Chains A and B, each alone.
Chain A
Amino acid sequence: MTSTLVSISSKAIASAGDAAGKRSSLVPTVAGLGLLTALLLFPSIAAALDETFYVSFVTRILIFALAASSLNLILGFGGMVSFGHAAFFGGGAYIVGMLSIEVTRDIGLLPGTQSAWVAWPTTMLACALMAALIGAISLRTRGVSFIMITLAFAQMIYYLFVSLKTYGGDEGMNIGTRSTIGFGLSLSDDATFYYVVLALLVVSMMLFRRLVHSRFGNVIRGIRENETRMEAIGYDTYRYKLVCFVIAGSFAGLAGALLANQNTFVSPRMLDWHQSGLLIMMVILGGVGRLWGGVVGAVVILLLEEILSEYTLYWQFWLGSLLLFLIIVAPKGLIGLADRAFKGGLK
């Protein structure tokens, strides 16, 4: 019985993959270009309407979209349900913070730096190393054990930073200013920062798209469908999964670095298991294993949070109820739901 179920579900996934793989349709391209134009014009419109608050709000959404998309690489395409993505997201934030306040001089690791050109790649590299270590151990387990062992590592890092008094401990750490990028631009200006984040998100998504459709991406999806079979064909599945985990970790680190810049503040809350849970929620809600799943999920959840908290003190109650409703009516996420509605409309 189980095997029929598995074959049915893998067929479903394969057909969904085909739909995603078709690039002939013009509609998504046009819609994408339209959206990009709107995003490019957004700060000017917000400035004209005197609603500049929304520029940093949308920046926040873009940052979470990047973090959720990086999680989707391992969770959606690789089938690795990591419950510890906050380790890299929050870790990246801390690394930028640590680099900026020059406290690393105390332990002689690196001189402090404000430059984004140094700090952000360093953060990505450090998070990649961290992901390599955590992944190397965690990926020897599967299923529920993998969920729990990634959680365990994230909790270790959480408690590490809670007790590191040099970096603010429980209360978190203020970062004086945002990173500098030169060229006469200042990230302290919200609109400039917005464009930098938008550019990084677009570039990252293009990379993810290339990655998912590459041979590497096919192997990763093959492992999700049937790891034993991929092993039998001769792929070193462990190594493929580890590389995927490392890529996801480093991009989550980049997102964390951006969020630290956005808030000019880092606290252990960014490393909390709630943060991992939130990122998982975004991915599932948007669409597991759909390229834009993380982006859609981040947009919907953060928008809902913002709108609901305008109207009621108990916004978590309504957010939770809505999520519960959506998970019942849209088991394949919002993108899956849209697919179904779109196909139904054509017939």
Chain B
Amino acid sequence: MTATFLLEQMLNGLQFGLMLFLLAAGLTLVFGIMNMINLAHGSLYMIGAYLAATAVGYTGSFVAGVLIALAGTAAFGALLESSLLRRFYGRDHLSQVLATFALILILNDGVRMIWGPHAMLVNVPALVSGPIELLPGLHYPAYRLVVIAVGLLVALGLYLLVVHTRIGMRIRAGASNREMANALGGNISGLFTVVFALGAMLAALAGAMLGPVLAVEVGMGESIIILAFVVVVIGGIGSVRGALIGAIVVGCVDTFGRAFLTTILREFSSPTVADNLGPSLASMLIYIVMAAILFWKPRGLFPAQA
């Protein structure tokens, strides 16, 4: 184990964490402001990935493809919110879980109807397809660095939006006290649509950016949405800052667990036990962390609600 390997794993953890943040940011806002559990948020991520893969194929440009996917998914999110999901804001969490679970079924099959059952492959844009030598001996895929850069930029942009703009102020008001913001505010339903579309766009960005790294396939949203929920709950519902920190914690814990846990266990026990236990413990690790955090801080690390 060397310093370069450690650094590489840190970059991997950061990259994974930032992509989780893109998903979790929308989830936490919808959760915090509309008090809505949206299990189908992962479907928006999937739709973003499919739109990007298709648009990149048509235009031949990765950037144009991603932008089209963002616009398309945001529009779809706004439509979904204003036509359907808004009916469920006043309902209990159970109805929301059922409705959005049904939506997952619908959107999965919808995607299958349009794009067929096979996974789509997206090529890494040629400009950043090779590795870059960050340090002597540390070669890191350039595309993953782009993903990290995009993630950091969006995090910064979201911070500026939430903290320094008028709409950000309304978002924060909604997250910290929904009823009061509702009572005082003017166009609250317009705000809901904007927030939902923004969340959809961020999810689509994650899907589009991860397209070349993972396979674009039906069901890709479901494996990651649970992790995004973990992030939201760890960070504190409604808190964008909490989502960022939670996402990076989850990304790093997961990556480090997979990279180092078996090696560490070998120090304490026999190799066979370590080789068996290591991977299973590594996959369980974030859930153990989450259960521990919820046990001691049921409202998460950075509760937004007053």
Residues of A near any B CB (own CB < 8 A): 1-2, 75, 81, 83, 137, 140-142, 144-145, 147-149, 151-153, 155-156, 159-160, 162-165, 273-274, 277, 280-281, 284-285, 288, 314-317, 319-321, 323-324, 327-328, 331
Is B113 a contact partner of A280 (Cβ separation < 8 A)?
Answer: no
What are 11 sample pairs from A and B whose C-beta atoms fall under 8 A apart? A137-B291, A140-B298, A142-B298, A147-B93, A148-B233, A152-B291, A155-B287, A156-B291, A277-B97, A317-B113, A327-B99
User: A12 to chain B: closest CB distance in Å?
Assistant: 13
The contact of A277 among B101, B294, B295, by CB within 8 Å, is: B101
Q: Are B98 and A323 in contact (CB under 8 A)?
A: yes
Are the C-beta atoms of B230 and A320 separated by less than 8 Å?
A: no
CB distance from A192 to the nearest CB of B (A): 35
What is the distance, in angstroms, from A4's C-beta to the closest C-beta of chain B?
13
Contact (Cβ within 8 A) B295 A2: no
User: What is the predominant secondary structure among interface residues of chain B facing chain A?
Assistant: helix
Q: Is the CB of B187 closer than 8 A to any CB of chain A? A: no
How many A-B residue pairs lie within 8 Å, measured between CB atoms?
125
Asked whether any CB of chain A lies closer than 8 Å to the CB of B214, the reply is no
- In the assembled complex, which residues on chain B have CB atoms less than 8 Å from the CB atom of A141? 294-295, 298
Q: Give the nearest-CB partner of A285 in chain B.
A: B98
- Cβ-based interface call for B95 (8 A): yes
Interface residues on B, range: 35 or more
Is the beta-carbon distance between A327 and B98 smaller than 8 angstroms?
A: yes
Complex interface bits, B19-37 against A, C-beta within 8 A gives 1, otherwise 0: 0000000000000000001
Name the A residues within 8 Å of B139 (CB-CB).
none
Contact B102 A323 (CB under 8 A): yes
B270 within 8 A of A: no
Contact call B95/A327, Cβ cutoff below 8 A: yes
Q: How far is the CA of A22 from the CA of B156 in the complex (A)?
A: 60
Is B61 in contact with chain A by the CB < 8 A criterion? Answer: no
Bound complex: CA A155 to CA B108 (Å): 22
- The answer to whether A317 touches B109 (Cβ under 8 A) is yes
**With A148-B294, A320-B105 known to touch, is A153 a contact of B94 (CB < 8 Å)?**
no
CA of A148 to CA of B105 in the docked complex: distance in angstroms?
21
Whether, in the assembled complex, B103 has its beta carbon less than 8 Å from a beta carbon of chain A, the answer is yes
